[in-house]
Amino acid sequence: VEGALADGPLTGKHVLVTSGPTHEPIDPVRYIANRSSGAQGTAIAKALLALGARVTFVTGPAEVPPPQGVDLVAVQTAREMLEAVQAARDVDAGVFAAAVADWRVASASEQKIKKDSSELPVLEFAENPDILATVCASDDRPALVVGFAAETENVIAHATAKRARKGCDWILANDVSPATGIMGGSENAVTLITAQGAEDWPRMGKDEVAARLAQKIAEALG
Ligand code: CTP
Ligand code: CA
């Protein structure tokens, strides 16, 4: 039945998942964004639901439709995503799979920028809030916080440093350099980095990555 939660090891637990890209407006018809289909975040939400969790799903404009049965919050920008994440209460675990734009256009134009002037437009950027780091530093930090690190080189070193810098418990690191064919595909090859070290997972479907992560979260939350 739609809306009914499954029974499983995460019954009674509330997990927050961020997913998809954020869109940062340049003007009313243009934006900057990261590449993200939302496939991995959506698969994680489904896997958590299947284990009985209540899932708050905060998503930017993704290609993949959101799963049925989540508490859905659709946002556009990083700042809206932060607000939605901070509005979630009594979260046991957070999984931050969104590809958040690191910068926004400092003063987006209220009107469409026209190309009729002789000058090329120059965009000035401002840094977006780091949602994951903000949550990790907050008073009501979830018991378990999982981040992602999409890297194109020195994957493990960058991801290990990122885990420490952001203060999250686990990081799922992946190599998204074009040669891997990971971006936009249905498979993922990740390394789980925890305080105990790094665990390489074989390349597998995004659904299988999600199922394995959900299982680990269930074990960790007990
Ligand atoms: N993240 C976030 N808010 C941001 C940027 C990133 O919540 N403004 C989260 C992502 O969802 C991911 C993790 O932080 O779980 C790492 O994102 P990533 O882009 O790899 O890290 P950055 O710290 O932004 O570093 P860089 O892009 O320079 O590699
Ligand atoms: Ca980033």
The atom number, within ligand 1, closest to the CA of 98 reads: 11
* In the predicted structure, residue 151 carries a pLDDT above the cut 70: yes
How crowded is the C-beta side of 72, counted as CA atoms within 13 Å? 13
**DSSP codes joined into one string, 75-125:** -SSHHHHHHHHHH--S-SEEEE--B--SEEETT--SSPPPTTSSSPP---E
The atom number, within ligand 1, closest to the CA of 165 reads: 23
How much is the average pLDDT of 105-132? 93
Please confirm, yes or no, whether 34 is among the known catalytic residues. Answer: yes
Least confident of 24-38, 40-54, 180-194, 203-217: 180-194
Residue 2's pLDDT band (cuts 50, 70, 90): low
* In the predicted structure, residue 1 carries a pLDDT above the cut 80: no
Whether the ipTM is more than 0.95: the answer is yes
Q: Is 128 close to ligand 1, i.e. is its CB under 6 Å away?
A: yes
Q: Is 19 close to ligand 1, i.e. is its CB under 6 Å away?
A: no
C-alpha of residue 128 to centroid of ligand 2, in Å: 10
SS3 144: strand
Count of H-run helices and E-run strands, the chain = 5, 14
The per-residue pLDDT for range 75-112, each reduced to its tens digit, is 999 999 999 999 999 999 999 999 999 999 999 999 99
How much is the average pLDDT of 177-201? 88
Closest residue by Cα to residue 37 from 66, 8, 57: 66
Q: Is 147 close to ligand 1, i.e. is its CB under 6 Å away?
A: yes
User: Comparing 188 with 95, which gets the higher pLDDT?
Assistant: 95
Q: Is 132 close to ligand 1, i.e. is its CB under 6 Å away?
A: yes
**Is there a binding annotation on residue 140?**
no
How crowded is the C-beta side of 154, counted as CA atoms within 13 Å? 5
- Looking only at the bridges linking them, the beta strands covering 144-151 and 190-194 are unpaired
* pTM of the predicted model over 0.90: yes
The atom number, within ligand 1, closest to the CA of 128 reads: 8
**Is there a binding annotation on residue 206?**
no
Eight-state DSSP code of residue 180: G
136 Cβ contact list (under 8 Å, min separation 6): 145, 166, 167, 168
124 Cβ contact list (under 8 Å, min separation 6): 105, 106, 107
Give, for ligand 1, the residue of 16, 100, 193 to mutate: max count of ligand atoms closer than 8 Å to Cβ.
100
